[in-house]
Amino acid sequence: MSERNIKSPSGGLGVKHLNITVTGKVQGVGFRETTKIIANQMMVTGFVRNEKDGSVYIEAEGEAIFLEEFVNWCHEGPDRSRVENVAVSDGEVKNYRNFEVLRK
């Protein structure tokens, strides 16, 4: 058997990758900076950036249990934001080393 699934202590199968788009009043309210703080607290890696359409785009990697909590936070956002929708899809793991705020 050439591939092994190594179970993590949380019961998941290692690292997952999520592509997340958050819409609503999510720009100009500290969303990206707060997302970085939350990601670091939850051991989530990847990046966050503003999109031209007013949304925020996030690529997040981590163990499933942490990603679930991270997505739950995305539905709330920071105090000054007003999240209308969070779209989440699975993606290919890119092995990010940290979490960054991308600025154009």
Catalytic residues: 32, 50
How far, in Å, CA of 71 to CA of 86, rounded? 8
For residue 53, count CB atoms less than 10 angstroms from its CB and return exposed for 0-12, middle for 13-18, buried for 19 or more.
exposed
Looking only at the bridges linking them, the beta strands covering 45-50 and 99-102 are parallel
